[in-house]
Structure 1
Amino acid sequence: MSAPEDGADILYWPRWRPGGHRIGAHRGQQAGGLGTFRDTVGFLHLPDARRIDIRASLRDPFEGVAVRRFEARSPVETYALIDLSASMRFRGRADRLGLAAAFCAALARSATRIGDGFGLMAADGVFREDLYLPATRHRAAAGLAAARIGDAACAGTSAEGLMEAARRLAGRPKLVFLVSDFRWPEATITRILSALALHDVTPVLLADTAEDDGLPAFGLVELDDLEGAGRRLVFLRPSLRRRWRQREAARIETLRGLCTPFARPPFRLADRFDAEALTRHLLTT
């Protein structure tokens, strides 16, 4: 299993301001006594003598009393949605399912450390109740749920069960990471992303450089379709390898286009988990 870097947290912020009165780490909708200075308002609007701004009050030509108002900090719920279709069994330079587990472990640690909730849902053709974790701020429970992903069975031929995950996320907006190799029909990708459009969604594209750089220019290669189409012996040559790479590049570009109306651009996670690269992606998209 790929292991996250020691102490490397995923840093993120939601695209919306969360509501609620619980204290958290993100800029919220509510004004409160703690947080970042927001503005000053009249005493009648916020009758709190502890936060009277003397300087602002003295500058008021109408001799009103000004009170400092602060921007409250609120928590959010983060969810990892994991594709467990059969193609996720692929092992090249890394174990794809282990890479997903390493990502979940880092997200669980990062979220619970700042008071956010971490939840996990997984699916193949059906929703996997055995791996479901509602959002929790309990660090140990979140870590255990993330670790179970590395040992999960991947036998389904689709990820249609993620539609049930989208239905269970209904309600307040959440921060959602959709983790998959995205070897789905375009219609399935669009349907799942549109079902999650209420939320702040980051697709995490699991990849492996062995699928590209590991192909020889010449030679016989036995290809195994993990989703049931069997094995096939293929004679590789430079032109075929070039077409293979072009189709893979086109697939990723198509995925990027499908994500545009519903989610952030996909983040490509290849070979090993890199918390810093994911943080840069989240903070710039």
Structure 2
Amino acid sequence: MSGTGEVVYLPRWRPGGSRVGAHRGRDAGGLGTFRDQVPFLRLPDARRIDIRATLRDPFEGTYVRRFETRTAIEVWALVDLSASMRFRGEADRMALVADLCTGLAASATRIGDSFGLIGCDDAVREDLFLPATRRQGIAVERVHRLATIRCEGTGARGLTDAPRRLAGRPKLVFVVSDFRWPETLIDQVFSGLALHDVVPVLLADAAEDEALPAFGLMEFDDLEGGGRRTVFMRPSLRRRWHARERERLDTLRSIASTYGRPPFRLEARFDAEALSRHLMTT
């Protein structure tokens, strides 16, 4: 497994809660970054009395300094484990997923956030489920198993059950897949995660599309049960193939942007810096 860098991310919402972390929270209290001054009766903490603001008040009110809390969040990876995810072209797809999740787990736990993992094919895979944890060793050990996991399911419908495991406060959720799903399933999965900050991670490989020859016999293997087919590739078929692929990606981008962020394309190798740029600018 290749080395992984640190992933920098910024949630789209102000998290609440009392668990101290690295993100700007929506609550205010006595510790953190200075936010504003409020009357003493709103925050009766004599340790935070602002002498200057109190002396300036013509009505002789007492003011205290209020600070912005720093709060922890939960980061989750929802991983498609259907048979198409065992595709190997320029890279081993599941090795890429393992590198991605290792980077997310290490980065989240390093700053006090929790990391959780849900793997799904036709159902949620209980053998891979990891409740959100702040213990880096446990999180990284579990995601290392992704590189050798058996992907044999005929679909990814189990991802529609994943939102039930994410009840409660909003979370940062990475949905990791090649997204070769029916449009209805894509919409179902993303609408079920609408409460959360959702980041689709699209697994792609040049061998699936860009490397197609203009002419020649090609053998295709449908990993999800469709069997093998031999096809004579020609320019007109290649153009139709590319058009269908663009249409599929446009549909994914449209649905994903409706419920969360646009997809991040993961291809050839995991680049933590590229993912960080995507997360900080979308």
Normalising by structure 1, report the TM-score.
0.95
Aligned equivalents of 1:103, 1:221: Cα separation in 2: 31
Q: CA deviation at 1:77?
A: 0.7
In structure 1, what is the Cα distance between the partners aligned to 2:102 and 2:69? 28
Encode CA deviations 1:21-74: one digit per residue, 9 max, x unaligned.
111111112212222211001223223232222332232222322211001111
User: 1:17: how far off?
Assistant: 1.7
User: Given the alignment of the two structures, is residue 232 of structure 1 paired with residue 229 of structure 2, yes or no?
Assistant: yes
The residue number in structure 2 matching 1:89 is: 86
Report the counterpart of residue 283 of structure 1 in structure 2: 280
1:183 counterpart = 2:180: yes
- d(CA) in 2 for partners of 1:81, 1:206: 13
Unaligned runs of 5+ in 1: none
Cα distance in structure 1, aligned partners of 2:161 and 2:3 = 29
Describe the SS at the equivalent of 2:77: strand
In the TM superposition, what is the alpha-carbon distance from 1:76 to its structure 2 partner? 0.6
Q: Write the distance in 1 (CA, Å) between the matches of 2:245 and 2:220.
A: 16
Residues 71-108 of structure 1, C-alpha deviations (whole Å, 9 max, x = no match): 11111111100000000011111111111111100000
What does residue range 95-114 of structure 1 map to in structure 2 within 5 Å?
95-114=92-111
For each residue in 1:177-204, what CA deviation from the matched residue of structure 2 results, as whole angstroms up to 9, or x when unmatched?
A: 0000000111111111111111111111
d(CA) in 2 for partners of 1:83 and 1:248? 19
In 1, Cα distance between equivalents of 2:198 and 2:181: 18
Q: Point out the more displaced range, 144-153 or 261-270.
A: 261-270
Q: Counterpart amino acid of 2:264? A: F
Aligned partner of 1:221: which letter?
Answer: M
Contact 1:23 1:74 in 2 (8 A): yes
After superposition, where does 1:1-285 map in structure 2 within 5 Å? 1=1, 3-5=2-4, 8-285=5-282
Give, in whole Å, the separation in 1 of the partners of 2:101 and 2:185.
23
93-102 or 58-67, which deviates more:
58-67
**Counterpart of 1:242 in structure 2: which amino acid?**
R
Change (3 A) 1:230 1:84: same
- Asked whether the 8 Å contact 1:4–1:275 carries over to 2, the reply is no
For structure 2, list consecutive stretches of 5 or more residues without a partner in the other structure: none
| SS of structure 2 residue aligned to 1:44 | coil
Q: Match of 1:110, SS?
A: helix
Give the number of equivalent residue pairs.
Answer: 282
Report the aligned-residue RMSD. 1.4
